Amino acid sequence: EPEVTQTPSHQVTQMGQEVILRCVPISNHLYFYWYRQILGQKVEFLVSFYNNEISEKSEIFDDQFSVERPDGSNFTLKIRSTKLEDSAMYFCASSGLAETQYFGPGTRLLVL
């Protein structure tokens, strides 16, 4: 069964550094999403992406964040200048024409 994959599984970075989190959505899916989950808290919506552009974004998704689909398979989340409070698990998800969103295994980001 096809799955969403994410790399890296863990990333440690220094405050102020840029990070890029990568996702490979399920191949025939059209809608892509990023969520984050701070340890012990709920999953929070960051951004949705369709037809090569952002569909919706939450107030968390400020100018430090950007998303890109650089080729036909990858979907990336870039954080330009990381802050301590960006430490979280970041999940990518994708969906096809049906509503069901399938989540990747996540990238645990730790900002020191």
Partner 1 sequence: GENVEQHPSTLSVQEGDSAVIKCTYSDSASNYFPWYKQELGKRPQLIIDIRSNVGEKKDQRIAVTLNKTAKHFSLHITETQPEDSAVYFCAPRDWANNLFFGTGTRLTVIP
Residues lying near partner 1 in the complex (CB under 8 A): 31, 33, 35, 41-45, 48, 55-56, 58, 91, 99-106
* Residue 85 C-beta: closest distance to partner 1, Å: 19
Q: How many CA atoms lie within 13 A of 73 on its CB side?
A: 6
For residue 63, what are the CA distances in angstroms to 32, 43, 67?
19, 21, 11
Specify the residue, 58 or 66, whose C-beta has the smaller distance to partner 1. Answer: 58
Specify the residue, 56 or 68, whose C-beta has the smaller distance to partner 1. Answer: 56
Query: Taking Cα atoms as reference points, which of 43, 24, 36 lies closest to residue 83?
Result: 36
Specify the residue, 17 or 49, whose C-beta has the smaller distance to partner 1. Answer: 49
